[in-house]
Each structure stands twice: as C-alpha cells, then as structure tokens.
C-alpha cells in the first residue's frame, strides 16, 4: 500500500486513539461512561495529534461481556445514550478532523438477540440455521472436544431445541453460522447501516473465529510447551476457527466499504497462527486494509530481539501495532520491571510512534497510566473471575480515565464508577499533566506532532540494524530524508554503535538535547530519532 492508496483518509501511518466508552467520561451520573462524554472530550483527543478514534462496542447489550455480546447491532445501548448522541459524536469528530472507527462483532451475538431467540425456538424456523447447532453424542455429551476461550467446553445445551449450540467465548455469546449466505447478508446490512451514518471504518473483532469447520472434527492436543492457564490452551485450534472461507466474506465486506467511497477495515486476529491469517486477510486489493498485531499486547517482557522478530514479519503490507488495549494489562506495568515507570512510558511511546504501520494508542497511555489494581470483590470481567488468580484479567486496563485531580472519582463521574479509580492514577490526571510541560501528556503531543511532520515515520521503509538484547536500532525512510531510531530497552548504559558525527538528534526522550550530535552512549530508558548530519 502506498500513501495515496489509503481508504477514506487513512493513509499508512495513521494514529488511532482507542476509547473504551464505559470508562472515558460519565455525563449522566450513573457511574458508566457514555457517548456524550466522549463527544465532550473529542477536542482533548484531537489535541493529542491523533488521526482517528476507535470506539469499543456501544451497541444494545445485556453486558455479559460488556458490549461484545450484541443484542441489537443497529442501536445504542441506553447506558451509553442514543443514536442521536452517536450522530452528534461523529459530526463533532469530523469537525475536529478526526475519523471514527467502530467495532463490529460478527462472530457471535448475545443470546438475547432476536436472531438467536428465533433460532433456538425450533429446528424449522426461518433462522433455525443462523447459529451453530449440533446433536449430542449418544451418551449426551457435547458433539466434540472444542473448548471456549473463557470457560471450558464451547458447547451449551438448549432444552428448547434439544441440541447443543456453539460459543467460542461466553455461553451468552452463541456463535453465528457465517457459512450461511443469509447470515452474511444480514451482517453486511449492519455494515451498511453504520457506513451510512458516517462511520469511517471498522475494527473487526476476533475475526479468525468467524467460521468453524462444519464437520465438527475434534481439535488435536496442542504441542509441548507454552503457558496453559485455560482448557482452551490445551488444544491446537484447527477446526473451531480459521476456516478457509473467511476471506471470501471479507471480500464482500470490502466491496460494501468501497461502495461508500472507501472506508478503513482492520482485523483483530488472535491466536497461534495469527501472522499467517493476518497476511491472508489483508492480501491484495479486495480484502482488508490492515490487521491488528497481538505480538506486543500479550508480551510479558520487551527486549530488542522481540521487536526485531516482530518487525521482520512484515516486509510488505501494512500492519497495525498496539502496546496496550482494553483486553491486555497496560504495557508500562508489564515491561518496566522495576525501572522508572514514567521514563519507561515515554520510551515505549517513542518506540510505538517509530514503528512502520498504523499505531493504536489506548486511552490513558498518553498519561503513562500503570495497570490499575482492582480488588477481587470489585472484579466484573468474566474472564478475570473465571481464571482468578492465574491471569490478571482485563479490569485493570479498563478503569476510569482520570480527568481532574481534586474531583470525586478523578472527574470521571459524580457517582461510584462501575470500576474503581486506582489512587495511583489520580496524580496522573489530565488536569495535572496539562499544567506540567515535562509530563507524559506533553511528551505525547510533541511526539505525535513530530511523527505527523516526518514522512519517513508515517510511510517510510524500515531497515533493521544488528543489535543486542537491549539495544534496538532501525532506520525509517530512504536517502537524505531517512531517520535512525535508537532505543535502550535495558537497565544499564549502552554504546549505540553509530558512526561518530554521522547523525544529529531531531527528537528524543528527556535528558537528550535536540540538534546535537547523536550520543555514542545511551542511558537506560532513553531513546532518540536522528537525521543524517
């Protein structure tokens, strides 16, 4: 993809700010964030220098999985507001020059969706085959050994149909049978509904779970090694996901997006075969524009060799990178490992901004927020409660955004929030950092302005230098316009290995002076970008 080929203004190198609506800003005093709260803070988001916002689900839902169990694809859940509120949000975003990307959850619905209620009513109805149903084995057990991501067996018995239904996640999230043309047509109608309302793109949730193997063959055991906290981790997922018919549906979706002047389509693709699937789903001009990499999101540590290995995976195409999101513990808490967290937050923000690809910035990342501590009695995430204490769960990344230092609940709400505000977040509030020119927030604004003005970072090539486990060096762009990006990811000083006098600093973490010769030695938790001297 070249810069001129970007859909709907999404040129390569776009920076997208993820908003988790439940936790951004509450304007109606119920302790849950809402769409008017997002609209009220879009000027703040635009001031960061990002190009777009991505909104996690705000659709009608019983909230078993906090919006990823959709009961009505084409309406706003009352806890978040109304369709009129959504339209006002889009209008304000566009006025500020921001694109709007929303989640689309096509793998499953809520068990309270009218489609599923129709389907479970009997085997002869119009939507009887819109979900994945199967008879019990002769002994009454589920039809195969598939496991769900969250809870054990991926099958639940339904007494009305006297069959099992498939759910790759919660039992309240029955799997759609997207092999059916009628289901595909219904999902594409959903896409058209939101595209017609002015949405600029979709983030497609858990896309490789879209279609299953219709033969319902057992999954084989996983190979040796690897962390296994859940039954799901004990299997090689050959048959419950990743069906080869998925790309054909993506081509239909891309055609719909092109019919609205070209809109941006990015896939979320988790799992052990994610790289191959991301390449498959973005191959050629008729499929998706980008894919959302998990290589950093679930990494417990960060070192230079890991970064080099990830970057080598994409010699062409255009990936999307994130270090934190609503499903993963915040990166600064995973990776700092005893080092100064605010210094480390600036270092990894610089690294993220220098990568070749689209950049996703998660709300609060610009503040350097650590992972929040949520007491067990305040946990609400079904995964966290099911797997506690073996996994951290997702609640600690979803706590309310801290806006004001002295206000109740850090200015997020006048009521007790749905998740508690971590006291460590309060002094890192937007209000406090707006007043501090040395803050992480100020650094983020300078950094994104620098990236926006540097074609080499937004769309240039990437060439890796040799390095050590702690020293990461790569170049972006070509010729006189190229830039070298250098990072010390370790805990002690390192020689940069750059030729003396060959480079001059144009951007750096605190403590390094701009427009000086690139240093021969770099302290830990520091990094810089330099141009040819």
Q: Which residues are catalytic?
A: 205, 268
Does residue 260 contact residue 253 with C-beta atoms inside 8 Å?
no
The token pair that represents 452 in the structure block: 């926006």
List the one residue out of 199, 475, 195, 209 whose CA is nearest residue 354. 475
Residue 166's H or E segment, with its range, is strand 163-166
**Measured between alpha carbons, how far is 365 from 441 in angstroms, rounded to an integer?**
9
Residue 250's Cβ-side half-sphere holds a number of Cα atoms within 13 Å equal to: 34
List the one residue out of 510, 468, 469, 462 whose CA is nearest residue 484. 462
> 486: which strand partners?
473, 528
Q: What are phi and psi of 342, to 5 degrees?
A: -70, -40
**Measured between alpha carbons, how far is 339 from 468 in angstroms, rounded to an integer?**
19
Task: Report strand pairing: 264-268 vs 290-292.
Answer: parallel
List the one residue out of 349, 320, 345 whose CA is nearest residue 334. 345
Does residue 71 contact residue 61 with C-beta atoms inside 8 Å?
yes
The token pair that represents 383 in the structure block: 């995964």
| 3-class DSSP state of 47 | helix
Q: How many CB atoms lie within 10 A of CB 36?
A: 18
- Total residue count of the chain as it appears in this document: 533
**Measured between alpha carbons, how far is 400 from 394 in angstroms, rounded to an integer?**
13
Q: Tell me which DSSP letter residue 514 carries.
A: T
Q: Tell me which DSSP letter residue 18 carries.
A: E
C-alpha 438: how far from chain center:
28
The token pair that represents 319 in the structure block: 């990936």
Q: Tell me which DSSP letter residue 9 carries.
A: G
């Amino acid at each position: 993809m070249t810069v001129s080929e970007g859909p709907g203004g999404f040129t390569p190198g776009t920076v997208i700010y993820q908003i988790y609506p439940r936790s951004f800003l509450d304007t109606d005093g119920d302790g849950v964030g809402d769409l008017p709260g997002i609209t009220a803070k879009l000027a703040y988001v635009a001031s960061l220098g990002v190009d777009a916002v991505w909104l996690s689900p705000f659709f009608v839902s019983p909230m078993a999985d906090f919006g990823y169990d959709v009961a009505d694809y084409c309406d706003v859940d009352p806890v978040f507001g109304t369709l009129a509120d959504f339209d006002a949000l889009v209008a304000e975003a566009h006025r500020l020059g921001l694109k709007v990307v929303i989640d689309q959850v096509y793998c499953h619905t809520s068990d309270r969706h009218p489609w599923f209620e129709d389907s479970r009513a009997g085997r002869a109805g119009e939507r009887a085959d819109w979900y994945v149903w199967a008879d019990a084995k002769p002994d009454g057990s589920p039809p195969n050994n598939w496991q769900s991501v969250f809870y054990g067996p991926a099958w639940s018995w339904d007494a009305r149909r006297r069959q099992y239904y498939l759910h790759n996640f919660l039992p309240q999230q029955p799997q759609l049978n997207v092999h059916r043309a009628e289901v595909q047509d219904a999902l594409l109608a959903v896409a058209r509904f939101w595209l017609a309302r002015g949405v600029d793109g979709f983030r497609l949730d858990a896309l490789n779970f879209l279609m299953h193997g219709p033969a319902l063959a057992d999954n084989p055991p996983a190979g040796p090694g690897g962390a296994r906290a859940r039954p799901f981790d004990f299997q090689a997922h050959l048959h419950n996901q990743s069906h080869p018919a998925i790309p054909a549906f993506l081509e239909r979706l891309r055609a719909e997006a092109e019919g609205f002047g070209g809109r941006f389509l990015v896939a979320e693709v988790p799992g052990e075969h994610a790289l191959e699937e991301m390449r498959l789903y973005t191959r050629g001009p008729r499929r998706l524009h980008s894919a959302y990499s998990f290589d950093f999101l679930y990494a417990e540590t960060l070192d230079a060799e890991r970064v080099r290995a990830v970057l080598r995976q994409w010699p062409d195409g255009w990936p999307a990178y994130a270090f934190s999101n609503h499903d993963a513990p915040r990166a600064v808490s995973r990776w700092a490992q005893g080092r100064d967290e605010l210094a480390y937050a600036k270092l990894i923000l610089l690294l993220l901004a220098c990568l070749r690809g689209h950049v996703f910035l998660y709300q609060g990342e610009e503040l350097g927020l650590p992972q929040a501590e949520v007491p067990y009695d305040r946990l609400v995430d079904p995964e966290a409660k099911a797997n506690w204490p073996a996994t951290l769960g997702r609640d600690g990344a979803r706590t309310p955004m801290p806006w004001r230092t002295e206000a109740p609940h850090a200015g997020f709400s006048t009521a007790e929030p749905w998740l508690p505000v971590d006291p460590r977040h309060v002094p890192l509030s937007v209000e406090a950092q707006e007043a501090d020119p040395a803050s992480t927030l100020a650094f983020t604004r300078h950094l994104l302005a620098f990236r926006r003005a540097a074609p080499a970072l937004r769309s240039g090539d990437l060439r890796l230098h040799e390095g050590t486990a702690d020293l990461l060096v790569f170049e972006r762009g070509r010729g006189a316009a190229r830039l070298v990006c250098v990072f010390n990811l370790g805990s002690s000083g390192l020689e940069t290995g750059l030729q003396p006098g060959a480079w001059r600093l144009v951007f750096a973490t605190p403590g390094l002076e701009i427009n000086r010769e690139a240093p021969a030695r770099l302290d830990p938790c520091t990094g810089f970008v330099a141009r040819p001297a």
